[in-house]
Amino acid sequence: MRGNATGYGTKSRSKPRLTNKLKLVVHHGDIDADQPAIDDEDEKNKVSSTAGVDAEDSHEHHLQAVLSAASLRASGQPRASGSSAYIPTPDAAGHAPDWERYYVANRWEEPEGYVRFSDTVEETQVGAIAAGCTYYMDEVDAEWLSKNNAELTDAARASSPSRGPPRSAKARGKEPESPSVAITEDEFELVMGILERITDERHPCLHADVSKFPTLTDFEPVFSNRLPISFFPDYRVPDSVPPPAQLLRMFRVIYPHWRERRLERDGRRIIPQINSDETNEGDPYVCFRRRDAKPVRKTRRSDTGSVDRMQSLFNNIRQLQHIAQSVVRREQLKHNRALEERQIMNCRMNLAEVKRKFPTTPFGSRDDDEVLVDKIVKRPKLEGTK
């Protein structure tokens, strides 16, 4: 039986309750298992809508194919031969062929060794620099370092005893050059990190004016002495740090390379840093952008009220503590003042006794009587008072 089988008018928008008096729709023939429920009385329900799908995803190819197939089934038209339309999804039921290698049976271990400390990444590294200035060399630095060490090796071979002693720079009338030194990767990263740290502290706006680039002599006092512990995250100079004399020689060799790389970055750090400046809202390179404040849901209003009350109570107790400390300081000042006034009174009594015994002494003048009494301090009149 077809037709007006639902038992309610076509203009009705709400379906009645399913009872034994309600006439149901009878479908003849084969019916697909995934066929959606179609209401013959409402034309809007004959085609499945894209409700719940984002506007930019509503025109997706597979989604439109599924909706078209559903529309054909609703209109009673025969489907085209071939595979039915579907939305492809990743296979979550598959198994890796070698999963036993990664998930070995009976391999559970107590995780006590994983939660023994809460150090930061910098604190767990050897030779790391604080304030995020730890330097990691790249292929450009590796090429420069290998070239520097190779030149040092060639110079050592050239100055071997079989070739005779080299002519000194003093004999040629030139200033003696600083001897080269072999530099390891860890020592190179240490010197580069210290240069980055000092430059960021002393010249934070170097990228705005490159003409104020620090010179070699600006860094020599730092490398000629023992490095301060504030340069390291655990406030301890690692044992692997070379002595100041050797570190100064390394710095003089590395400085030209560091200067060249820093100038290539227009005065900024060699390793790009995360941009967290939110002044320009249209900048797409801002990381960790702040979210707008959203209204609190009704289910969390009670929690928010409890937090606000606890915060208010904490502020009141903290203010009370501040008042109590102020009262204690006031009473201590009063006590100290009373002790000083008592000492002054004893001194005045001794002076008066001396004046009675020796009235002809210089202490007997009337001008000295002013020290026996307190002077009356006149308070300045406030403006607007008569």
The pLDDT value recorded for residue 11 is 46
**Containing H/E element for 302?**
helix 301-357
The pLDDT value recorded for residue 368 is 65
Q: What are the b/e assignments for 81-101, b being 16+ CB within 10 Å?
A: eeeebeeeeeeeeeeeeeeee
Among residues 138, 236, 154, 229, the alpha carbon closest in space to that of 192 is found at 138
The pLDDT value recorded for residue 4 is 46
Length, in residues, of the chain: 386
Q: Copy the structure tokens of residue 343.
A: 């000492």
Q: Is the pTM higher than 0.75?
A: no
Q: Copy the structure tokens of residue 317.
A: 């107790």
Q: How far apart are CA 91 and CA 267, in angstroms?
A: 50
The pLDDT value recorded for residue 332 is 96
Q: Please state at what angle helix 244-264 crosses helix 185-202, rounded to 10 degrees.
A: 70
Yes or no: say if 308 and 300 are a contact pair by the CB < 8 Å rule.
Answer: no
Spell out the per-residue pLDDT of the chain, length 386, in tens.
444 444 444 444 566 677 888 888 887 887 765 555 545 444 444 445 666 777 777 778 888 888 888 887 777 666 665 567 888 887 777 777 888 888 878 777 777 766 666 677 777 777 788 888 899 999 999 999 999 888 888 777 776 655 555 454 444 444 344 556 889 999 999 999 999 999 999 998 888 888 889 999 999 999 999 999 989 888 888 888 999 999 999 999 999 999 999 999 999 999 988 777 777 777 776 776 666 666 666 666 667 778 888 999 999 999 999 999 999 999 999 999 999 999 999 988 888 888 888 776 665 566 666 777 777 777 777 776 55
Task: For tokens 């066929």, name the residue.
Answer: 35
Q: Degrees (nearest 5) of the Cα angle 116, 119, 121?
A: 125
Q: How far apart are CA 158 and CA 304, in angstroms?
A: 77
Yes or no: say if 232 and 130 are a contact pair by the CB < 8 Å rule.
Answer: yes
The pLDDT value recorded for residue 32 is 65
Q: Copy the structure tokens of residue 330.
A: 């006031």
Query: If DSSP codes are grouped into helix, strand and coil, which group holds residue 231?
Result: helix
The pLDDT value recorded for residue 48 is 53
Cα 52 from chain centre: 36
The pLDDT value recorded for residue 54 is 75
First to last CA, the chain: 106
Q: Write out pLDDT tens, residues 7-44.
A: 444 444 566 677 888 888 887 887 765 555 545 444 44
Q: Where are the domains of the chain?
A: 121-156+179-264, 328-376
The pLDDT value recorded for residue 300 is 64
The pLDDT value recorded for residue 6 is 45
